[in-house]
A = this chain, B = another copy of it.
């Protein structure tokens, strides 16, 4: 499948590399490819410059948001949650229309210090805002409740015996996303319902952040035991 991963950070790169390894034709979308390749600094999370990463992942292309989205059958949003609506607008409404848009971003606002706040929260979610802004895209919220390493390799902890959620209005889009998740090794995929149910997984981020602190590692996931 032709897949565009929007976002050049650690999560975007991890997802892009994993999907390329599965045989998909993957392009990473960014605002300005020249600027992305010109950066030479390691970011605050210790992520090396994109150009350096790229030398080890020549099977992943890089393109501007609109070009990446236009060529893709499925678009994955792994941009910073606070900038996702802008990034998707840059990708272009027409380039997203009719396509599955996997939204993995979390709208965490660090501007008021630690811990970050969720914005929107409670009666609204980023997943819903994206669906409203791009009504012809088939938005499926998923994978936002675990770190990037677990997204693409759930077997990293507990033999992969943990859960992932999908929320979205389009049954066929959820089915396609479910297949993709299974191909990444996810075993327990729970369909929560329409896109309004994305509030639930997004609102798990505050406990996720505190668990990271309490456990001393982000390598954990939620299993729904029943």
Assess the A219–B214 pair: CB atoms within 8 A: no
Closest residue of B by beta carbon distance from A207: B200
Assess the B223–A210 pair: CB atoms within 8 A: no
Choose among B123, B191, B209, B226 the residue that contacts A200 (Cβ–Cβ < 8 A): B209
Closest residue of B by beta carbon distance from A159: B225
Assess the A220–B225 pair: CB atoms within 8 A: yes
Choose among B200, B214, B221, B225 the residue that contacts A192 (Cβ–Cβ < 8 A): B214
Complexed CA–CA distance, A219 and B123 (Å): 25
Assess the B224–A215 pair: CB atoms within 8 A: yes
Assess the A206–B200 pair: CB atoms within 8 A: yes
Q: A203-B203, A206-B199, A207-B203 are in contact. Are A225 and B161 (CB under 8 A)?
A: yes
The reply on A217 being an interface residue by CB < 8 A is yes
Assess the B197–A224 pair: CB atoms within 8 A: no
Complexed CA–CA distance, A147 and B91 (Å): 44
The reply on A201 being an interface residue by CB < 8 A is yes
The reply on A122 being an interface residue by CB < 8 A is yes
Assess the B219–A222 pair: CB atoms within 8 A: no
Interface code A104-126, partner B: CB below 8 Å = 1, 0 otherwise?
00000000100101110111000
Report which residue of A211, A215, A217 has the largest number of chain B beta carbons within 10 angstroms of its beta carbon. A211
With a CB–CB cut-off of 8 A, which chain B residues contact A207?
Answer: 165, 192, 200-201, 203-204
Q: Which 8 A-B pairs have the closest CB atoms?
A: A200-B207, A220-B226, A158-B225, A223-B223, A162-B225, A200-B206, A203-B203, A200-B210
Starting from the known contacts A117-B122, A122-B122, A222-B222, 12 additional A-B residue pairs (CB-CB under 8 Å) come to A117-B123, A165-B207, A191-B214, A197-B210, A200-B207, A200-B211, A220-B224, A220-B225, A220-B226, A221-B225, A221-B226, A222-B225
| A-B contacts, 12 listed (Cβ < 8 Å) | A118-B122, A121-B122, A158-B226, A162-B225, A190-B214, A200-B207, A200-B211, A204-B204, A211-B224, A220-B225, A220-B226, A223-B223
